[in-house]
A and B are shown apart, each in its own frame.
Chain A
Amino acid sequence: MSANNDEPKKMAASSQKSTENPPTPDKLPVPAAPKPAAGAPPPKKEPEAPPFEKGLVEEIKKKFGESIKVIFVKPLRIKIQVEPRDIVEVATFLRDSMGFDHAESAGGTDYPKENQIEVIYHLGSYTREDLGAHILSLTARTSRDDARLPTLINVYKSVEYHERETFEMLGVYFEGHPRNERFLLPEDWADIPPLRKDFRIKGR
């Protein structure tokens, strides 16, 4: 697919969010073009959110309205953020009606500056031909101090061990998960969860 060759340019432009183009009421908030700074290279052309992905996002927004926040819409990659309490409902909708039938993986990232942990599920599709290359990233943010999320194990069975790993590595408790236990770290681990940013490796 020739989309791959355009990806680097679109990626570089869309990562800078600016408020130059206010979103029109009937269109999605399109990632805007960067402001040309003095002496900067000539501005890249404004990236269009690709129509197919836009259509998918519109379908999701029709059902859930404003409780979904779209982070980015790139060719083949969509990222949406939901509230922790809605995540099971959104995931069920994605699985049943949109065709994202399996979770490729799940993980988490620690953002200490915003005092949040973001748990991300990458969803893909085996059954729908047109969605075969797409990955929809479903994320939810919780606070670092009391990180809890409802589990998606009843929706996507494959996240069982990924959620356990996130529990162990980042300290996020998944409510409803049958086994929130450690399996990677040794049994006598007495430190904070390792993937948090305030866990420093010795000597670094």
Chain B
Amino acid sequence: MSLGTVLGTIALTDCAGAEGEGLRREVLAHLADEVFAPAHARLQVEAAALAAATALRCEIGDGGRAQAAKQAWWATRAEWSVTAAFAFGPVLEQMQAGPLDFWPARTDTIEAKILEAPAVIDAAWIDGLGTSAKGLPALEYLLFTVQPPPSSPSCAYATALAADIARRCDELASGWEAHAADLRGAGAAGSAYASEQAGLDAVVNATIENLYRMVKDKLDRPLGNLTGGEPDPLALESRFSGTARDDLEANLRGFATVYLGADGEPGGEPGLGALIAARDPDLDRRILAQHVVARDALAAVPLPFAAALTDHRDDVQRARDEIDALRRLIKLDVASLLGVTLSLSDNDGD
């Protein structure tokens, strides 16, 4: 290859390959303002509705109120599971993940705390509980399994848990209002992110973590893959309400909004995928295709999910493998393409 050819190639790639300098900023702004903050605002609304529905259910014990409280729990759970795809910033700073979503729920701990509870449970008492006794899984246990009668200690406990969940979701939404400005202004003075790249690192690392948790905690563990044993339905997320698949689908919807933008559809808004498409259109196509494959594989698992662990194990395993393939694309190809520093690494390079 002659020097002229090399220089010509360089000039051509330079003209063709230079990405719009503002695209990264545009992506961060869109994700902060149109995806992350609104998702937490929706979570806040649903959690407030859950608190109200639980309180009402424990005042009036008809079947309609009980069903309304369950539906409010499902709605809150779905929004929470969407936000798992971008669990960074306030959720880490405020350490809300444990108090809101400790699982598998420890039912004996919950029952013990109900017995210890004061006659009037206040926010401070709930706040002082360990994570295994509160949060969405504990409330799920009470609403879907215990189904306590109105005015019972269990119902009072459930009402207090729902109020605690609502308060925490309030804090998260408020936190994201401020944090969205940090992410939007990444690299500017005063931002929590020293550079736009640092903001991007946080987004991509959270995406990787979400997919990793889906594979390992939410599928490998109940499948028995980690123990070399039989499937373990008790290790399923949201096992009391039987919505483990819904949680996983919501996790993937969260991923889709990060990658595709707020509408979760290709070719529209500037999500992470816009950056990928600008630098490597083929990789973008592979990710979109793998997302569809993973989503369809998950949807193909027959319900109830707990029974599918044994009756349709291959289907569940296939869903797990396809989500893992998506994880690899993000952790390897995307992180490499975007120059993402994979999180929590100590030491220097070279």
Whether chains A and B associate is no
Interface residues of B (CB under 8 A from A): none
Interface residues of A (CB under 8 A from B): none
